[in-house]
Amino acid sequence: MKNIVLAAGFLAFGGGAFAQDIPKADPATVEKYVQSIWSKASPEWQARVKLDETQRICSETNNTPSQAQFEAIIAREKASVAYPADGNVMGDWKRGMVVAQRGTGGQFSDAPGTYQGGNCFACHELTKEEVSYGTLGPSLLGYGKNRKFDPAEAKAAFAKIYNPHVVFPCSQMPRFGHTKFLTEEQIKDAVALLFSPDSPVNK
Ligand code: HEC
């Protein structure tokens, strides 16, 4: 919600008004408006407009939760991580590269069955070859190598990709496993991309 108010404020400011002139939006009005935008969407999509407890706290505190909220988020989100039953978090880095490169799927304009990718490159540098990447997230170049290919670190990366709030409450990185956007196999493949010695990430 806050982002909408901020965006509106930014536009008004650009128009020559002063920040303090921006009328305060009643949260209930904003909420109703956002719901109305989604009124024609399927019930499944409408449900996604509702914030869960973690999202609510992050929105209300503008991503600066109190210490107690910070700890509560980590505890709650940690409980959501489902590790592979056999304990193996490493998949196939080549398939992981597809996960990292593809940003398709999950939009209501997508045909059913469209491949859902993790779009990691949109926020992270991962390889030296790829020059077009986003910088919202830190560079992951050499990620496994820098961690000595430690299996405990690979397991932590699985949890991170599954649900970033486990490590960094109010992270801007999507909760890929928690939301079931990526499958367990895709998350394992992304871990392999980060932790395989022969992956281009570690070259
Ligand atoms: C919308 C942007 C975004 C996308 C897409 C994204 N990330 Fe992130 N990621 C971030 C941000 C921001 C951080 C830093 C904050 C944090 O740790 O949560 C981060 C942190 C990380 C970290 C921890 C880095 C460290 O310092 O240890 C890993 C590992 C990671 N991302 C992997 C991935 C993988 C793999 C994908 C694709 C499946 C992905 N990310 C997709 C934004 C993103």
Residue spans per domain, the chain: 2-50, 93-202
For 66-120, how does the pLDDT look when each residue is reduced to its tens digit (9 = 90+)? 999 999 999 999 999 999 999 999 999 999 999 999 999 988 788 989 999 999 9
The position carrying tokens 């367990």 is 184
Ligand 1 centre to CA of 137 (Å) is: 5
CB 58 within 8 A of CB 169: yes
What is the structure's pLDDT at 19? 58
Question: Amino acid identity of 4?
Answer: I
Q: What is the pTM of this model?
A: 0.86
- As a whole number, mean pLDDT of residues 119-128 equals 97
- Which is nearest to 125 in space by CA: 136, 115, 117? 136
Q: Is 96 left (phi over 0), alpha (psi -120 to 50) or beta?
A: alpha
Is the pLDDT at 12 greater than 50? The verdict is: no
For 42-73, how does the pLDDT look when each residue is reduced to its tens digit (9 = 90+)? 887 888 778 899 999 999 999 999 999 999 99
Residue nearest to atom 37 of ligand 1 (CA): 120
Residue 46 DSSP class = H
CATH number at 93-202: 1.10.760.10
Is the pLDDT at 177 greater than 80? The verdict is: yes
Cα separation, 125 vs 193, in Å, equals: 13
Q: Which atom of ligand 1 is nearest to the CA of 193?
A: 35
CA distances from 169 to 164, 165, 176 (A): 7, 4, 15
For 157-169, how does the pLDDT look when each residue is reduced to its tens digit (9 = 90+)? 999 999 999 999 9
CB 110: neighbour CB atoms within 10 A? 12
Ligand 1 centre to CA of 120 (Å) is: 7
What is the structure's pLDDT at 105? 92
